[in-house]
Amino acid sequence: MHLTVIGTGYVGLVTGTCFAEMGNFVTCVDVDARKVERLKQGEIPIYEPGLEPLVLSNYKAGRLQFTTDLAEAMTTSNVYFIAVGTPPGEDGSADLQYVLGVAREIGRHLDRYAVVVDKSTVPVGTADKVRAAVREELERRRVSVPFDVVSNPEFLKEGAAVEDFMRPDRIVVGTDSAPARDLMYSLYADFSRNHDRILFMGVRDAEMTKYAANAMLATKISFMNEVAGLCDRFGVDVEQVRLGIGSDSRIGYSFIYPGCGYGGSCFPKDVKALIHMAEEAAIEPLLLGAVHRRNERQKQVLFEKITARLGNDLSGLTFGLWGLAFKPGTDDMREAPAVVLLHQLIGAGARVRAYDPEAMEVARNELPKAWFDSGALTLAQHQYDALEGSDVLVLVTEWKPFRHPDFGAVKRLLKTPLIFDGRNQYDPKKLKVDGFEYFGIGRKG
Ligand SMILES: NC(=O)c1ccc[n+]([C@@H]2O[C@H](COP(=O)([O-])OP(=O)(O)OC[C@H]3O[C@@H](n4cnc5c(N)ncnc54)[C@H](O)[C@@H]3O)[C@@H](O)[C@H]2O)c1
């Protein structure tokens, strides 16, 4: 099949590449000319494990192309995946300007039956808006061309995106059109070989499923963070509690890790968008509101622990910070707890030496230039270099190389043997024996 994927970010690039890997001919479109140029030069603009070789081999085989020209891409295909961003607006609602902009552009060039697929995460009712936007442009051109709009939300996880796309838990397709259903089935059958993973449902059901999934995961994290706060106060080790409840098959072990808050481009914005959807419908989002507030609060916890130990004025102190990405396996720093902590530490007069295995380039481009110019923030060459001359180690993202560090070296390099562990990676008892002072999240130090 010939497909067009519009928006070549984390979702679009992975989607396009994985479809190409299955033998389809895919054109990836993006308005960012620099990004398209880099891709044509064989440079992958994002870090995602396993993605680079797949992009390169499919590009070389001629199954994957990159362009800024949607009209041209549309001439060779009749399936258009919209995978552009839906960032939060001022009021928390999903900003649909990019999705609807693409829909209008499709309407300006559509000349035969096509399926328009909403892959971006969009509020319930967006497929109707996409349909209306395409139709409006067709009417303006005084032509009548049949088309269907399908909701096909994406559930991949950054850091495991290729694996998730290739071997999905489920593929959700919302449509009430038989031809669109057949087309989506044949496209996704390749990813659903050993048992049927394709769930067909109504368009609005599919739109809601994506938000409900992310809100559920965010709820589990916020719940556990709240329990961790109680554990802190009552001298309980939350890691024991985690094991104690995770072993209950009704609860399970996943997504109950306490930490310094969830970030990324999805959970925070999707919870906010669902809250906005509820409020628009005059439904009070009691639980979702609490999930969001707990997370905002949780991003303060590490800093509060730091100031409780070291005082409010941190001038003269240098913090070695491990982890900038919002989670391991990605270079994505959108809404990362590390960014909040950097603002807090630097705002309190501290200097920071930070290191992340993959997010250094993103950090250099996206963090305030003034921090680098003033020397408040230095990006270190490697994880131990971040500790050279630092007073304290703060772990923010649990990348594998941070999990089992050489504590002898850590102790030698730090001016004070003091560790704040935002992801409960280390054993407090062992660190105590090794002469460290340790602060985790909801743990007895
Ligand atoms: N990142 C994830 O892990 C993830 C997972 C599931 C779903 N989603 C959803 O998928 C959507 C995309 O997310 P992302 O993380 O890939 O975003 P992203 O910001 O990485 O990529 C979006 C891309 O769209 C491009 N774009 C914007 N307007 C365009 C237009 N008119 N024409 C062509 N390209 C255009 C941008 O230049 C950018 O490259 C969002 O709705 C997001 O919520 C993301």
Q: What angle do CA 98, 100, 101 make, to 5 degrees?
A: 60
Q: What is the 3-state secondary structure (H, E, C) of the chain?
A: CEEEEECCCHHHHHHHHHHHHCCCEEEEECCCHHHHHHHHCCCCCCCCCCHHHHHHHHHHCCCEEEECCHHHHHCCCCEEEECCCCCECCCCCECCHHHHHHHHHHHHHCCCCEEEEECCCCCCCHHHHHHHHHHHHHHHCCCCCCEEEEECCCCCCCCCHHHHHHCCCCEEEECCCHHHHHHHHHHHHHHCCCCCCEEEECHHHHHHHHHHHHHHHHHHHHHHHHHHHHHHHHCCCHHHHHHHHHCCCCCCCCCCCCCCCCCCCCHHHHHHHHHHHHHHCCCCCHHHHHHHHHHHHHHHHHHHHHHHHHCCCCCCCEEEEECCCCCCCCCCCCCCHHHHHHHHHHHCCCEEEEECCCCHHHHHHHCCHHHHHHCCEEECCCCCHHHCCCCEEEECCCCHHHHCCCHHHHHHHCCCCEEEECCCCCCHHHHHHCCCEEECCCCCC
Which of 10, 36, 109 has most ligand 1 atoms within 8 Å of CB, for mutation? 10
pLDDT computed for residue 138 by the predictor: 98
| Ligand 1 pocket member 106 (CB < 6 A) | no
Ligand 1 mean position to 188 CA, how many Å?
21
**pLDDT in the model for residue 445:** 58
Active site residue 28: no
- Residues 322, 327, 332, 338: what is their CA dihedral angle, to the nearest 10 degrees? -50
Strands across the sheet containing 392-395: 377-379, 351-355, 318-322, 392-395, 418-421, 437-439
Query: From ligand 1's centre to the CA of 30, what distance in Å?
Result: 10
Going from the Cα of 309 to the center of ligand 1, the distance in angstroms, rounded, reads 41
- CB of 6 shorter than 6 A to ligand 1: yes
Distance from the CA of 313 to the center of ligand 1, in angstroms? 40
Q: Is the CB of 156 inside a 6 Å radius of any atom of ligand 1? A: yes
Residues of the chain scoring pLDDT < 70? 445
Residue 193 pLDDT: 84
| Alpha carbon of 158 to ligand 1 centroid (Å) | 12
Tens of pLDDT, residues 304-361 = 999 999 999 999 999 999 999 999 999 999 999 999 999 999 999 999 999 999 999 9
Phi, psi of 170 (to 5 degrees): -155, 160
Give the per-residue pLDDT at 307. Answer: 98
- Write down the pLDDT at residue 411: 97
Judge if the beta carbon of residue 45 lies within 6 A of ligand 1.
no
Query: Is the CB of 263 within 6 Å of ligand 1?
Result: no
Q: Contacts from 144-149 at CB under 8 Å and sequence distance 24+?
A: 145/110, 145/111, 145/112, 145/113, 145/114, 146/113, 147/110, 147/113, 147/114, 147/115, 147/116, 148/114, 148/115, 148/116, 148/175, 148/177, 148/179, 148/180, 149/115, 149/116, 149/117, 149/118, 149/203
- Per-residue pLDDT, 195: 83
Mutate to test the pocket of ligand 1, among 4, 8, 11, 27 (most ligand atoms within 8 A of CB): 11
Query: Ligand 1 atom 44: the closest Cα is on which residue?
Result: 11
Q: What is the pLDDT of residue 196?
A: 87
| Best of 30, 172, 334 for a ligand 1 pocket test (most atoms within 8 Å of beta carbon) | 30
**Atom of ligand 1 at shortest range from CA of 98:** 28
- Nearest ligand 1 atom to the CA of 68 is 33
With 0.85 as the threshold, say if the pTM is over it: yes
φ/ψ of residue 143, rounded to 5 = -125, 155
CA of 85 to the centre of ligand 1 (A): 3
**pLDDT for the residue numbered 53:** 98
